[in-house]
Amino acid sequence: MDKRYYLTTAIDYVNGAPHIGHAYEKILSDVIVRHYRQRLDDVYFLTGVDEHGIKIQKTAAEKGMTPQQMCDENSSKFKQAWKALDVDYDQFIRTTDKYHTEVVQRIFDKLLKQGDIYKNSYEGLYCPGCESFLNPKDLTEDGLCPIHHKKPELVSEENYFFKLSKYKDSLIKYIKENPSFIVPQFRANEVLNQLENLDDFSVSRAKESVEWGIPVLGDEDQVIYVWIDALSNYITALGWDVDKSSEKFDKYWSEVHHVIGKDILKFHCIYWGAILMALGLPLPKQLLVHGFININQEKMSKTLGNVIAPVDILNAWNLEKPDAFRYYMACAASSGKDGNYSDEDFKEKVNADLANSTGNLLNRTLSMLVKYFNGEIKSEFVVNSDLYKTALGKVQIVKNHFDNYEISEAGAEIMDLVNITNKYVTDNAPWTLAKEDKMTECGQVLVTVLNVMTVVCSLLYPFCPNIALDMASQLSFDLNTKLDDLNCNNIKPGKFIEKESIHPVFLRLDSELADKKK
C-alpha cells in the first residue's frame, strides 16, 4: 500500500434534497476511507456539491428564490444528511466557493489560450437532466434520453468547445495500458467503445440560455459549463491553481481515487481525463464505478414516487445511530453492480447479521464469563487456538477485497468469521463444560471467542463505527489498533467485566426491546 490515500466522491447536484442513491455513494466511500485509515496514517476524503446550471436556475425561479439562496438551503441538507449517516469527510467543497470559481475561470482561460478550447456554432439534442448534448444513436427507440426518459431539446447556439479529438489516442492508450485504472474492469470496454464515437464537446453555454454559472473571462456572454466547473473541484479543493501547485495537491493527487456512479463514467474518464492531459496533470490513479440502488427491484424515479430520503429510513426504523443502514447499504451490491433496498430485506439482513449473529455472540459470551467466573479471566484460560489463524486470515482477505473495491464481499467475509465463531461455540458448548465442572476448558472457549471478537470488532468498524465502539468498550479493546498490528492476544488475565457493563450492541428491529421507552 502507498503511504497516502485521497478519495473523492462525485459532487451532488443541489436542485433537490439527498436521496438513497446519494447516500449509497457517500456511505460506500466513507466505509472505504475508514478502512484505509485503519491501515495508513494519511488519508484525505473529499465530498461536496455542484451548484451551477440551468436546473438550479429554473427550480429556484419556481420557488421564488435566487439560485444562491436555493444552493445554500439544499447544500445544508446534504451536509445534515451526511452528518446523520456518520460520513466523516475531511473537506466539503461547493462550486460556488470563491477560490473554486476563480480557479475555474483561470483553467478555462489557460485552455483557451493554448488552443485546447475554441468557439463554434452548434446545433444538437440537449438533455437538461444530463446537462449534456446527446448523440441521436444514444436515444431510446422513442427518441428519449435513456436515463431521464424525456425528449431532448433541439438547441442551437454559439459555444466554446474542448478539443477532445486531440487527446483521444492518448486516452485509449492510457486505458489499455492501465487495467486497474477503471474498477470494475468490465467498464473499461464501455469507455473504449464510447471514445470511438465522441466528438469535441461543449464547455460553455450562452448566458441567454443559462445565467447561473461562472462567467468566461473576457466573454461575459458565455458561462463555463459543468465539465470544467464541476470536475475541477477535485484539484481546486487541494489548492491547485494554473500558475502554481500547492503542498496539499503535491501530497495527495498521485493517490487520488474517484468514486462515481456508472452514469457519469464517460465524463470522469474521457472528459476529465482529456482536460487533465491538457493541463499537463496526471490522470487519477483509479475510478471506482458503482451501480444504482433500486427500490423494491424498481428504478428510483419521481414518477413512481419511490424516491427515499436516507434520514427518513433512520426515522422510520427509530434508529438513533445509522450503523444498520450503513452496513446494509455498503453490502447492497457487489462491485460495480446495481443494488436494491427494501424494508423487508433491510430488517431481515440487519437482524440476522448485526443482532442475531454478531451482537448475540458477544452478549452471551460475556454473560457466560460473568455467570461462571464473575467476569474474571484466569491465566490458564489464555491459550492459542486454531480459530485465531482463521480470524487473522480473514483480516488479509478483507484487506484484499478492499484493495479491489469489493466492499460487499468484504462484509460477507466478516460475517463468515462471525458464523464460524458461532459454530465454534456450539461445537464446544461452554455451558456443558461448566455443567461438567470442566471450568478451565470452559474459560478457554470463552476467551478464545472474545479474542476473535476483537478482530471482528476492528473489521466491522468501517461499516458500523458506533456498534464497533460499543463492542470495543465491552471488550476493553483499543479500536485505534492498525489492521497490520491485529492479533488474538487482546484478552488479558484479571477482572474483565461487570454484569452491569454488558448490554446488546444492536437490538433487533421490530422487537419489543427496540422500544426506547422500555
Q: Are residues 358 and 214 in the same domain?
A: no
pTM, two decimals, is 0.93
> Looking at the domain assignment, is residue 297 inside a domain?
no
**Secondary structure (3-state) at 293:** strand
Does residue 132 register a pLDDT over 80? no
Q: For residue 230, give the CATH number of its domain.
A: 3.40.50.620
pLDDT at 516 over 80: no
Cα–Cα distance for residue pair 254/110, rounded to 1 Å: 22
Give dist(CA 361, CA 422) in Å, integer. 7
Q: Are residues 267 and 346 in the same domain?
A: no
Q: Which of 130, 269, 331, 464 is catalytic?
A: 130
In a domain, residue 279? The reply is: yes
Overall average pLDDT of the 24-41 stretch: 98
Model confidence over 206-228: pLDDT tens digits? 999 899 999 999 999 999 999 99
Does any domain span residue 493? yes
Ramachandran class of 397: left when φ > 0, alpha when ψ lies in -120 to 50, beta otherwise? alpha
Which member of 19, 79, 100, 257 is catalytic? 19
Can you read off the three cell numbers belonging to residue 342? 427494501
Domain endpoint, select from 290, 316, 334: 290
Q: For the segment 346-376, what is each residue's pLDDT rounded down to a tens digit?
A: 999 999 999 999 999 999 999 999 999 999 9
Domain that holds residue 152: 4-290
Q: Are residues 72 and 201 in the same domain?
A: yes
Q: Three-state DSSP class for 147?
A: coil
pLDDT at res. 450: 98
Average pLDDT value for residue range 443-471: 98
Which whole number is the average pLDDT over 244-250?
A: 96
Q: Which of 302, 516, 517, 518 is catalytic?
A: 302
3-class DSSP state of 490: coil
CA-closest candidate to residue 197, choices 136, 142, 276, 268? 136
Examine the domain organization and report whether 108 and 43 are in the same domain. Answer: yes
Quick one: pLDDT at residue 517?
46
Query: Number of structural domains, the chain?
Result: 2
* Mean per-residue pLDDT over the chain, rounded: 94
pLDDT value for 511: 55
Catalytic residue among 71, 127, 269, 464: 127
The contacts of residue 498 (CB under 8 Å, 6+ apart) are 370, 375
Domain end marker among 253, 274, 290? 290
- Taking residues 244-271, what's their average pLDDT? 97
154 is a domain residue: yes
Closest CA to 373 of 473, 323, 429, 440: 440
Check whether residue 376 and residue 254 sit in a common domain: no
- What separation in angstroms does the CA of 302 have from each of 127, 259, 388? 17, 25, 50
pLDDT of residue 304: 67
pLDDT for res 135? 78
Average pLDDT value for residue range 267-282: 98
Residue 471 in grid coordinates: 463492542
Question: Which residue among 52, 79, 100, 145 is the active-site one?
Answer: 145
Clarify whether 302 is annotated catalytic: yes
**Residue 142: pLDDT band with limits 50, 70, 90:** confident
Reduced 3-state DSSP string for 172-190: HHHHHHCCCCEECCHHHHH
User: Across residues 22-29, what is the average pLDDT?
Assistant: 97
pLDDT tens, position by position, 394-426? 999 999 999 999 999 999 999 999 999 999 999
276 & 422 share domain: no
Residue 166 lies in a domain: yes
Q: What is the pLDDT of residues 42-95, one digit of tens each?
A: 999 999 999 999 999 999 999 999 999 999 999 999 999 999 999 999 999 999
How confident is the model over 145-174, as pLDDT tens digits? 887 788 888 887 899 999 999 999 999 999
153 lies in the same domain as 51:
yes
Tell me whether residue 130 is one of the annotated catalytic residues: yes
Is residue 2 within 8 Å of residue 58, measured between CB atoms?
no
Q: Could you give the CA distance from residue 273 to residue 267 in angstroms, rounded to a whole number?
A: 8
CA distances to 131, 182, 197 from 67, rounded to whole Å, are: 17, 35, 35
Question: Do 226 and 78 fall into the same domain?
Answer: yes
- C-alpha pair distances (Å), 154 with each of 100, 124, 141: 31, 6, 17
Let me know if residue 312 belongs to a domain: no
Q: Domain check: are 350 and 483 in the same one?
A: yes
Catalytic residue check, 127 = yes
DSSP 8-state assignment for residue 53: S
Span 122-134, mean pLDDT? 77
CB 314 within 8 Å of CB 496: no
Mean pLDDT of 435-446: 98
Which among 299, 347, 349, 438 is annotated as catalytic? 299
| 240 and 129 within one domain | yes
Same domain? 284 vs 346: no
287-336: pLDDT as tens digits: 999 999 999 888 877 766 778 999 999 999 999 999 999 999 999 999 88
Q: In angstroms, how far is the first alpha carbon of the chain from the final one?
A: 47
Q: Rounded to an integer, what distance in angstroms lies between the CA atom of residue 329 and that of residue 86?
A: 13
Domain match, 146 and 285 both: yes
19 is catalytic: yes
418 lies in some domain: yes
Question: Going by DSSP bridges, is the β-strand pair 4-9/42-50 parallel, antiparallel, or unpaired?
Answer: parallel
Residue 316, domain member (yes or no): no
**Residue 386: which CATH number?**
1.10.730.10
Structure confidence at residue 13 (pLDDT): 96
Looking up cell 458500523, which residue turns up? 464
pLDDT of residue 359: 97
CA distance 34 to 325: 16
> Order of strands across the sheet with 219-224?
204-206, 219-224, 214-216
Annotated catalytic residue within 63, 148, 337, 389: 148
d(CA 390, CA 425): 15
The larger pLDDT score, comparing residue 381 to residue 140, is at: 381
What is the SS3 assignment for 266? helix
End-of-domain residue from the set 253, 268, 290 = 290
